[in-house]
Amino acid sequence: MLFKSLLYNGFEKTLKLIRGMFSFIFFDSLTKTLFAARDHLGQKPFHYSFQNNFFCVASEIPSLLKLQSKKVPDFISWRTYLCSNGIIDKDKTFFENIYTLPAGHVLRFHNGDLKIEKYFDILDLHDANYISNNNIKTKKETVETLNFFVKQSIKRHAVSDVPVGVLLSGGIDSSLIFKYVYDRL
């Protein structure tokens, strides 16, 4: 379905249509352009390297390290990681010349030119006027609205050709998801 959408709708429109977890590459043979995208929240990995006119992509860093003549640590990334609560720059890895495509970003590679652009920002989902525009005033109305959105999300994510399972961690979020999935049965 993704491939068909890319062929018939194009890259930009397909990005507006798809949901969920993904990272993919698409080569347009007509324009000789390589397009790549990472999902909105960065759940699927996407690593790449571009040096000496050689561009390569992988879902795991060790694959890219095997293509390097030397494995050189990126000491700035290590320092950032060790001096914080495990934070690293969104486009960096722990190795020089190996990068991560940030969540909600696209990559275009054409004639040796690499461009990365943001196509999604989580803050775009926030609508400060939603409550006032929809006349939600009471606690009951707020709970009903939340119930609607959680049901809608569960319905979209529980699409499967095989039975769906839910892993319970014991936390409130997995328990809530289980309740909604169970209510659908």
pLDDT tens across 75-92, in order?
A: 999 999 999 988 899 999
Mean pLDDT, the chain, whole residue set: 89
Q: 36: domain range?
A: 2-123
Query: Long-range contact list for 68-71, CB < 8 A, 24+ apart?
Result: 68/95, 68/97, 68/98, 71/95
pLDDT tens across 3-27, in order?
A: 999 999 999 999 999 988 899 999 9
- Reference 157, options 148, 166, 168, 144; nearest CA is 166
Asked whether residue 7 falls in the same domain as residue 71, the answer is yes
Q: Percent of the chain, pLDDT > 90? A: 55
Asked whether residue 147 falls in the same domain as residue 179, the answer is yes
Q: What CATH number does residue 119 fall under?
A: 3.60.20.10
Give residue 66's pLDDT band: very low, low, confident or very high (50, 70, 90): very high
124 pLDDT above the threshold of 80: no
pLDDT value of residue 57: 95
Asked whether residue 106 falls in the same domain as residue 168, the answer is no
The number of distinct structural domains making up the chain is 2
Average pLDDT over residues 167-180: 87
* Cβ contact 87:65 at 8 Å: no
* Listed residues 123, 143, 173: the one ending a domain: 123
